[in-house]
Amino acid sequence: MPVRIALGMAATAIALVVAGRRFWLISRLVRSGQPAPGRTGQLRRRAEAELVEVAGQRKLLRWSLSGTAHAFTFWGFIILMFTILEAYGDLFSKRFAIWGFGHNPVLGFIEDFFIVAVLVALATFSVIRIRQAPKRRDRQSRFYGSHTGAAWVTLAMIAGVMITLLLYRAAQTNTGDFPYTWWAFASHVVGKALHPLGAGVNADLETTFVILNVAVIMGFLVFLSYSKHLHIAVAPINVAFSRRPRALGGLDKTPDMDMEHVREDSVFGVGIIEQFTWKQMLDFVTCTECGRCQSVCPAWNTGKPLSPKLVIMGLRDNMFASADRLLGRGKPGSSGGPDRNVDVQTLVPSTIEPDVLWSCTTCGACVEECPVDIEHVDAIVDMRRYEVLMESRFPSEASLMLRNIENQGDPWGLGRDKRIEWTEGLDFEVPIVTDTVPDDIEYLYWVGCAGALDERARKGVQATARMLNRAGVSFAILGPKESCTGDPARRLGNEFLYQEQAKTNIETLMQARARKIVVTCPHCFNTIKNEYPALGGDFDVIHHAQLLDHLVSTGRLAPTSGYEAKVTYHDPCYLGRHNRVFDEPRSVLDAIPGVRQIEMRRCKERGFCCGAGGARMWLEEKIGKRVNVERTDEALGTGADVVSTACPYCMIMLDDAVRAKSKEDEVKVLDLSQIVEASLGETRVVGARSE
């Protein structure tokens, strides 16, 4: 057997054994997780995700220069799979050709183009890393906390693959064995530089570099199986099994909280690593440590200890450290499954600090930004469930909120009788459903706790009601029958209270025979629309911003030039990012002749949270800068007269921050419906002033 074949096959065999053992371990660890229903099916959507997210590199391309360089590197590796086949074929025959492609000059050109493109991309990465090196240890860097040392090894190994590939092809051009014409431009250019060495030396170079090419490829395979660059292999798998159509909106799991089925050994939430699902464990090993999630997290950006990236990295480290227990190794008589009889420390606080867990607003910015579809929010809520339901460990100030929901049906504990007080300021009667929604009523208006009970949020609800009445839209309310949807309880981790609230509300809505529901609060909107179906409540739900857009676009509401203001619109996380309602509110504002919209730097998909989600509305914010102040500073920086939103939570949080800065006389925080109403009045309104 020729030496080249022996060396090439030996390197391949060793690498496949070493890397194969590692991949098999990872596979077993992932498969030791709990079932993850709903991760198959929807094949068309999953195929589209592979094309758009993996092949199309959609999320990475948002990051311009580095994203483009990464995309070319990714596409280069896909195309250069042909050259790997050719390298192995060359070990056996210097005239080897891939069946079906042969020595088509177009293939030669494409291969050379991507060799050069990948080398340029690697040079770009190197320059970026050198320029950013002093900043990477800074908390503001998205690479803070990442294992950045291995990145140079990765760049060197990829460069090694490209350089050895180019050199052995170049040497072939001088031995007469290169199968491609001048279309393979890079190989021929480098070949000209090697030509003076003579045919004999070039033959030796060709043999040397083809063996080195195979060896470096196999070495890179081993390296990536033990490093964070494992994502190269597992990211496409993770994307394929991600929640479709999106990993935002409703939470993934709705555990059975029926107390009749609860046993003494029942566990709710996730307290130790093996209680995560296999998909969540796949998330952990897929993390690229790129820090894109960290860079957009409102908690991290305001000095809190929560980094979505570091949470996933910590859980991944815990998973590998727990490998013996997860796989039952070393236990007499073990069947190879998880050893569930060993006492272990809970993830909180051994791996995740409490302040990390409770800083999350569940805004979903991390999930939106992640290029490999990791579902951070679900993991955090799962751990919160365990802390609340199994350990009774949660921020003390949340106790009152939970008791109020349980006893009074709202987080403030004001009671059901207060839910109709907002109607007293209207000059028309609002029907209250006592039995079923009458046939002549088009919408059931779900007002929500904040809209019904908070003085500032009531103004938005009243304006919405007046706009519906003015447009001739018939609607009714549940009044005292309405109760908290359970969203704050669920995001805090009290799944039991959420389900009790949800089941009661679903029964109420079904008894009322609610056909169409219009909702003001995005949290109520998201819960009824996306989470109640899992408990049997499937309703037709629309947000008031969507309905206003419809009424304006069809001419049933006709804004005039009576309102003039510079308006910046704040995207509520649970309306925008979680439910993709971005355009409708802006369309409404665009229809008002006197309004000039000014976008904040972080808007739409990248909108910045107000700080109220994830039950944070009722928790103290003692660490770092307040999230609502950070967002309000950005809004004030636009020079707008009005900060508009379409969420009572956001309205309260932003208004609090404006007042804290003593800017309430200069800038108003208004619901979208209030601006529409002002544009329909006879009084000319300029900014926050009337004339």
Please answer whether residues 311 and 352 qualify as being in contact, where contact means their C-beta atoms are separated by less than 8 angstroms.
yes
In single-letter form, the type of residue at position 176 comes to: G
Is residue 690 pLDDT above 60, yes or no?
Answer: no
Is residue 275 pLDDT above 80, yes or no?
Answer: yes
Classified as helix, coil or strand, 70 is helix
Stretch 621-628: mean pLDDT = 96
Instruction: For residue range 358-394, list pLDDT tens digits in order.
Output: 999 999 999 999 999 999 999 999 999 999 999 999 9
pLDDT confidence band for 686 (50 / 70 / 90): very low
Is residue 154 pLDDT above 80, yes or no?
Answer: yes
Q: How far is CA 675 from the centre of its chain?
A: 31
* pTM for this entry: 0.91
Is residue 477 pLDDT above 70, yes or no?
Answer: yes
pLDDT confidence band for 133 (50 / 70 / 90): low
DSSP 482-503: ----SHHHHHHT-HHHHHHHHH
Is residue 479 pLDDT above 50, yes or no?
Answer: yes
Give domain limits for the chain: 3-14+59-136+146-226, 259-390, 401-550, 557-690
Q: Quote the CA–CA distance of 8 and 41 in Å, as a whole number.
A: 41
Alpha-carbon torsion 304, 308, 314, 319, what sign?
Answer: positive
38 or 283, which is more confident? 283
Please give the CATH architecture assigned to the domain spanning 557-690.
3-Layer(aba) Sandwich (3.40)
Instruction: Write the class of the CATH domain 259-390.
Output: mainly alpha
Query: What is the chain's length?
Result: 691
Please answer whether residues 49 and 244 qualify as being in contact, where contact means their C-beta atoms are separated by less than 8 angstroms.
yes
Average pLDDT, the chain: 90
Q: Quote the CA–CA distance of 388 and 495 in Å, as a whole number.
A: 9
Retrieve residue 414's tokens. 């004001």
Share of the chain above pLDDT 70, in %: 95
pLDDT confidence band for 341 (50 / 70 / 90): low
In single-letter form, the type of residue at position 590 comes to: D
Report pLDDT for 507.
Answer: 97
Is residue 647 pLDDT above 90, yes or no?
Answer: yes
Report pLDDT for 511.
Answer: 95
Instruction: For residue range 297-322, list pLDDT tens digits in order.
Output: 999 999 999 999 999 999 999 999 99
Report pLDDT for 334.
Answer: 44
Instruction: For residue range 651-666, list pLDDT tens digits in order.
Output: 999 999 999 999 999 9
Q: Which residues pair with 475 in a beta bridge?
A: 443
Secondary-structure breakdown of the chain: helix, strand, coil percentages, each rounded to the nearest 5: 55, 5, 35
Report pLDDT for 683.
Answer: 45
Instruction: For residue range 395-413, list pLDDT tens digits in order.
Output: 999 999 999 999 999 999 9
Q: At what angle do helices 185-194 and 149-175 cross, to 10 degrees?
A: 70
Please answer whether residues 432 and 420 qualify as being in contact, where contact means their C-beta atoms are separated by less than 8 angstroms.
yes
Report pLDDT for 338.
Answer: 53
3-state secondary structure 402-460: HHHHHHHCCCCCCCHHHHHHHHHHCCCCCCECCCCCCCCCCEEEECCHHHHHCHHHHHH
Instruction: For residue range 182-227, list pLDDT tens digits in order.
Output: 899 999 999 999 999 999 999 999 999 999 999 999 999 999 899 8
Instruction: For residue range 83-113, list pLDDT tens digits in order.
Output: 888 888 888 887 788 887 888 899 999 999 9
Report pLDDT for 134.
Answer: 61
In single-letter form, the type of residue at position 559 comes to: P
Stretch 131-140: mean pLDDT = 70
Contacts of 47 (CB under 8 A, 6+ apart): none
Instruction: For residue range 219-269, list pLDDT tens digits in order.
Output: 999 998 998 888 888 999 999 999 878 889 999 888 887 777 777 778 999
Output Rg (C-alpha) for the chain, integer angstroms.
30
Q: Quote the CA–CA distance of 313 and 290 in Å, as a whole number.
A: 11
Stretch 169-193: mean pLDDT = 91
Classified as helix, coil or strand, 675 is helix
Report pLDDT for 99.
Answer: 81
Is residue 562 pLDDT above 80, yes or no?
Answer: no
Sheet holding 475-477, edge to edge: 475-477, 443-446, 516-519, 540-543
Residue of 83, 82, 92, 71 whose CA lies nearest to 8 = 92
Contacts of 298 (CB under 8 A, 6+ apart): 361, 363, 365, 608, 609, 611, 627, 630, 631
